[in-house]
Structure 1
Amino acid sequence: MNFTFYFLIGMNVIILISYVYHRGQIEYSKLRHQEENCTKMLRHEEMAMSMPSTLQQNVSEIFNKIDKMVPSVTFTHIDNTTSAKNSRATLLNPKNVYCIGDNLTVQLDMYDYLGNRKKYGGDFFRPRIYSPELQAAASGRVEDLNNGTYLVHFTLFWQGRVKFSLMVYHPSEGISALWRARHASDGVISFQGKFQYGSQEAITKCGFRLDEPDDKLCKYLDHRDEESIHCIKIPNLPCESLTYMRGVNHNPTYLTALEKQLFVRSNIAVEISKNFEYVDVGNCTNSKEVNKEKCRTGMDSPFPSGYFMKNEWHPVFCNMFPYITSDQINSCLQGKKLYLIGDSTLRQFIMYFTGVINNMKYFNHPYGGFSYWEKTLLALNMEKSTYVHYKRHGFPLESFNFYYFMEDAYTSRQIDQHAGGKNTIIAITMGQHFRQFPLHLYIRRAVNIRRAIERLFLRSPDTKVIIKTENTRDINTHVERLGEFHGYTQYLVMKEVFRGLNVGFIDVWDMSNGFATEDVHPQLHVLKNIISLAFTYAC
């Protein structure tokens, strides 16, 4: 009996141990399977986080295209850099008689200050032809052979004596230095944000990226467009109380003392020696200009895109009509809404309407001039049912006065807010305020604007959209912060990003270069042509 009892107890123990063991194996198998699944999920998440987004890929592709155009060179003495005076300009295949419409090529052979032939390209030129007595001018197109030789192609658009301007704006060594300096930081100006909460007020540092732990930062993120602004947290003030923003210029530099020698005024925009001064152009066939179709959205804009004659712009690819007088502009804008999204160069439109031709009146606008360009403006013509609205393009802004940040909105978000329609015109620009930051920022902003326009066209394909490039500015501007080469690379980005889109493209870089406009705000005669082309597209 004792044997049977202990035998049964032993069997139960064995069964229990076996059950526990097999149950453990099952649970272990489940846990192992779960662990493997978790590991796989973590790996997928890590891969997803490490893989660039479609937007980031687009930005990188465009940036790399520009980067390949920029020389990567160093120098130990300014004598080893490009000398305009030692370089030579030669008129290829000169003719006794030139006719309107002929193409003409000038060869540039570059030398350094010691008289040595340059063996690489990358110099920055702004060539043009002009006839002062005719108030005529046009840009030239530069072909870089990447061996120290360049071909500059001109089209002879008008009859008369045509002169040449062939300036080395910056040598290739300077371009390489500017490109490196532009991307050595997150920008050469910083920002201050003013927080207001009840009776409390404080100012703190803001920017695109700040070297602070995450828990010390207020983050203002746009996840869709991958935009971000950061400010250092202020104790006892919520992040939502950020109210005002301003720029702060600490005058940092990322150029060496040697590189700075390239950007003294005497080394900027120096004419190349040439054995010719002008050519005489005749109307050989006495033929009249071929009739072109009216400028319309979606047309491709070549370079050069046109020429000035008697201070009037003549596009080479379409026919532009004047929209200068009050009656002309009223005929276009009657019953329409015009939204201007950009900077002070686009604000010139609304200033022209209200201050030059006086066909509209501001709604509660006590400010004048460009001092308060960041203010949102509204102008109306009640009789013609015309509505014109100006709003800045959003952060970053080079405004050293505090401006109301809470109404800030990126251009893409502003476009998203508009229903559009056949009576809606949206004009967009950006450029000057982005020159002080790495080019990636500008590219991302441009791509996001294109995407917003594409969304707009899906819901309202008959909306008219006008893209205005940035323009040239004065030679004496701070080269590292605001120089022309920075503007030129942004101009190339804008042409690349908006190609193939059903928009009206105004090549103001070409216009201002051709007419040698040295003003961040183009003069009135240039502005009139910009407005005329915009409304030829839109009306």
Structure 2
Amino acid sequence: MSPNVWKCGLAVLALLGLVFLLRNISILENWNCSAVSALSQLQSHIHTSLSGPVPMFHHNHTFCAQLGQKASPEEELEEHRLLNSITWPGPPSASAPVALLKTSDPAHSSFTILPSENKGHWYVGDQLEVIVQVYDFKGRPKGYGGDFLLARLHSPEYRAGVAGVVLDHKNGLYSVRFLLLWEGSAQVEVTMVHSSEAVAVLQRLREERPDRVYFNSLYHLGLQSETTVCNMCLPPDRGPLCDYTDSRTGEPWYCYKPRMLSCHTRINHAKGGYLKNITTDKEAMLFQSGVNIKVPIRASGKDAISVLPSRTESRSVKPDAVNQATSGYYYEDLWRPLVGVAMRQFDSSAITLCLTNKVVYMYGDSTVRQWFEFLVDVLPDLKEFNLRSPKLVGPFMAVDSTHNILVMYRCHGPPIRFSTIMASELRYIANELDGLSGGPNTVVALSIWSHFSTFPVEVYIRRLRHIRKAVARLLDRAPGTLVVIRSANPQALDQQVSLYNSDWFSQQLDTVLRSMFKGLDVLVVDAWQMSVAHRHPHLLHPPPAIVRNMIDVMLSHVCP
């Protein structure tokens, strides 16, 4: 190699190193002032490299799902039952991609309101039944089920709404049933979130591509810095791994070992990015905004009814599956639960009075961080303490010294798709719960779902199992502790979001969460139905009107 070529190569490497360094300045800014000052003096000497390239395609469902502590026979039986409970019907041959024209088309599909059994009249306390017929893009009726539908009954006039219960007949027909809970107008709305063919693609991605969201960690020692790829399940045949499995819960986490540095020099954790081109061209056609992602299905006739006041003989609603599945409804934008304690509305002074002398711990993803932000915004005496935490990442703490209120938030352990987090701040919820004293003046709020949508469901079951055990230990040693679990909620979807964070993934995880905590003395705030039933569009982070209702549900149990 000539000297000129050698010098040219060195110049290119130096330029690449400088570009990589500039991209990571935001990471350095999260360090404390002294560390940043020291590192800034050495920037020209830092050697950067990226080891462990973006993961390639691997069928590692079994490998990923079986990581962590071995489950007991009882836990294996529970896992089998949970997986069976979320089994989803699909196309006769899910392995062979279906041409778009043969897939479910919301524009050709329609729903019909079935006649009332009460001489054409509907009364408060009755049920309304709707039949949905799904057709393909050629206008032919579908012969199998598996489409993911959402439905609500609502009244703009009364700002009222209730989620519908969808039953798949597995032949292209779906029943949707609604409880009639207010007097006056009620309009039906049915939405096809995904076709059955699209759901089959999502199933494949969940089982085969847990690497489609990947993570990075920065390693640093002296004059050297390296960044490597991390994830819960990394193929070990692509290089040596650093094992960061949690010693107490056994929750696995790995990074590819840096070329020059040891595993102990890890500084932080960050979302690396999203893998692209993970579907075929045919599969991509199943995820088109405005065509087959969250598109309304039209009514074949009228789409609204008028509900009369409750009749004397029908005041008590029969306890069937629809009633048990409906947790509440909105009226005048206020959530009215159908079970549990009476719902109260709390203004800022009432919230302060309710939380006086109490500690509120919040653990999980950004949807429970919303609760922390809400309380800080509405309570004038609750001041956020500056912990110099990264914005939107935490940990966060707010104090009202006058009324002796403490509110804290901390994100859950990996996988977490936040921006850069110091490795020392990565904590697992189960371990945090084991460190709490608890008691009647302690409220614990948990939300953990969105960041698990790219992994096999077994991974989520394992994580919830550790949290459930920790919750049981907390309630056993500190009776009176209120544990609140926020469920999943639907969100706005386009093609990219669908492949990584679809409502279908969220709904599956939500079903598992409710089942695993059933029978335990915890409060589940039904964010799913509270979002589906509301007049606002679906958002990953619901608007303040919905968050306020969630806070009211929690506080109604804190201060009944």
Q: TM-score, normalised by structure 2?
A: 0.80
Match of 1:297 in 2: none
Match of 1:268 in 2: 293
Provide closer, same or farther for how the CA distance between residues 435 and 50 of structure 1 changes in structure 2, counting only shifts above 3 A: closer
Provide closer, same or farther for how the CA distance between residues 167 and 382 of structure 1 changes in structure 2, counting only shifts above 3 A: same
Contact 1:347-1:390 within 8 A present in 2 as well: yes
Is 2:200 the counterpart of 1:180? no
Q: 1:412 aligns with which of 418, 430, 440?
A: 430
Match of 2:412 in 1: 393
Measured in 2, the distance between the counterparts of 1:358 and 1:349 equals 15
Provide closer, same or farther for how the CA distance between residues 323 and 336 of structure 1 changes in structure 2, counting only shifts above 3 A: farther
CA drift at 1:363: 1.1
Measured in 2, the distance between the counterparts of 1:236 and 1:304 equals 57
Measured in 2, the distance between the counterparts of 1:277 and 1:214 equals 57
Match of 1:31 in 2: none
Match of 1:380 in 2: 399
Q: 2:439 aligns with which of 421, 427, 447?
A: 421
Match of 2:470 in 1: 452
Match of 2:452 in 1: 434
Q: Which has the larger radius of gyration?
A: 1
Alignment of 1:104-143 (within 5 A): 104-143=128-167
| Higher alpha-carbon deviation: 461-470 or 429-438 | 429-438
CA drift at 1:119: 2.0
Is 2:484 the counterpart of 1:462? no
Contact 1:326-1:359 within 8 A present in 2 as well: no
Q: What is the SS of the residue equivalent to 2:329?
A: strand
1:366-403: per-residue Cα shift (whole Å, max 9, x none)? 67xxx82211001011111111110001111112x321
Contact 1:156-1:281 within 8 A present in 2 as well: yes
Match of 1:443 in 2: 461
CA drift at 1:63: 2.4
Measured in 1, the distance between the counterparts of 2:518 and 2:194 equals 28
Match of 1:403 in 2: 421
Measured in 1, the distance between the counterparts of 2:341 and 2:125 equals 17
Measured in 1, the distance between the counterparts of 2:149 and 2:239 equals 48
CA drift at 1:533: 0.3
Provide closer, same or farther for how the CA distance between residues 263 and 214 of structure 1 changes in structure 2, counting only shifts above 3 A: closer
Match of 1:523 in 2: 543
Provide closer, same or farther for how the CA distance between residues 487 and 50 of structure 1 changes in structure 2, counting only shifts above 3 A: closer
Contact 1:98-1:281 within 8 A present in 2 as well: yes
Provide closer, same or farther for how the CA distance between residues 205 and 251 of structure 1 changes in structure 2, counting only shifts above 3 A: closer
Measured in 1, the distance between the counterparts of 2:337 and 2:492 equals 25
Provide closer, same or farther for how the CA distance between residues 417 and 70 of structure 1 changes in structure 2, counting only shifts above 3 A: farther
Measured in 2, the distance between the counterparts of 1:282 and 1:211 equals 62
Match of 1:86 in 2: 108
Provide closer, same or farther for how the CA distance between residues 433 and 331 of structure 1 changes in structure 2, counting only shifts above 3 A: same
Match of 2:23 in 1: none
Is 2:533 the counterpart of 1:507? no
Match of 2:557 in 1: 537
CA drift at 1:359: 3.2
Measured in 1, the distance between the counterparts of 2:425 and 2:337 equals 38
Measured in 1, the distance between the counterparts of 2:342 and 2:277 equals 44
Q: 1:363 aligns with which of 369, 385, 398?
A: 385
Provide closer, same or farther for how the CA distance between residues 200 and 50 of structure 1 changes in structure 2, counting only shifts above 3 A: closer
Q: What is the SS of the residue equivalent to 1:272?
A: strand
Match of 1:76 in 2: 98
Match of 2:79 in 1: 59
Q: What is the SS of the residue equivalent to 1:249?
A: strand
Provide closer, same or farther for how the CA distance between residues 93 and 390 of structure 1 changes in structure 2, counting only shifts above 3 A: same
Q: TM-score, normalised by structure 1?
A: 0.83
Measured in 1, the distance between the counterparts of 2:340 and 2:176 equals 24
Measured in 1, the distance between the counterparts of 2:377 and 2:466 equals 33
CA drift at 1:205: 1.6
CA drift at 1:535: 1.4
Alignment of 1:230-379 (within 5 A): 230-235=254-259, 237-266=261-290, 267-274=292-299, 275-285=301-311, 302-364=324-386, 372-379=391-398
Provide closer, same or farther for how the CA distance between residues 96 and 404 of structure 1 changes in structure 2, counting only shifts above 3 A: same
CA drift at 1:537: 1.9
Measured in 1, the distance between the counterparts of 2:453 and 2:70 equals 29
Provide closer, same or farther for how the CA distance between residues 438 and 50 of structure 1 changes in structure 2, counting only shifts above 3 A: closer
CA drift at 1:462: 1.7
Q: Which runs of 5+ in 2 are unaligned?
A: 1-67, 317-322
Letter in 2 for 1:264: Q
Contact 1:194-1:243 within 8 A present in 2 as well: yes
Letter in 2 for 1:402: T
| Higher alpha-carbon deviation: 525-534 or 259-268 | 259-268
Match of 2:497 in 1: 478
Contact 1:59-1:443 within 8 A present in 2 as well: yes
Measured in 1, the distance between the counterparts of 2:163 and 2:259 equals 56
CA drift at 1:83: 2.1
CA drift at 1:110: 2.1
Displaced runs of 4 or more, over 6 A? 286-290
CA drift at 1:304: 1.8
Provide closer, same or farther for how the CA distance between residues 50 and 509 of structure 1 changes in structure 2, counting only shifts above 3 A: closer
Q: What is the SS of the residue equivalent to 2:208?
A: coil
Q: What is the SS of the residue equivalent to 2:267?
A: strand
CA drift at 1:67: 2.9
| Higher alpha-carbon deviation: 303-312 or 73-82 | 73-82
The Cα RMSD (Å) is 2.6
| Higher alpha-carbon deviation: 84-93 or 457-466 | 84-93
Measured in 2, the distance between the counterparts of 1:351 and 1:50 equals 35
| Higher alpha-carbon deviation: 170-179 or 51-60 | 51-60
Provide closer, same or farther for how the CA distance between residues 51 and 340 of structure 1 changes in structure 2, counting only shifts above 3 A: closer
Q: Which runs of 5+ in 1 are unaligned?
A: 1-48, 291-300
Contact 1:342-1:430 within 8 A present in 2 as well: yes
CA drift at 1:495: 1.2
Letter in 2 for 1:513: V
Letter in 2 for 1:485: W
Alignment of 1:209-220 (within 5 A): 209-212=233-236, 216-220=240-244
Contact 2:387-2:395 within 8 A present in 1 as well: no
Q: What is the SS of the residue equivalent to 2:368?
A: helix
Measured in 2, the distance between the counterparts of 1:409 and 1:366 equals 18
Match of 1:293 in 2: none
Measured in 1, the distance between the counterparts of 2:182 and 2:396 equals 41
CA drift at 1:78: 1.1
Contact 2:352-2:379 within 8 A present in 1 as well: no
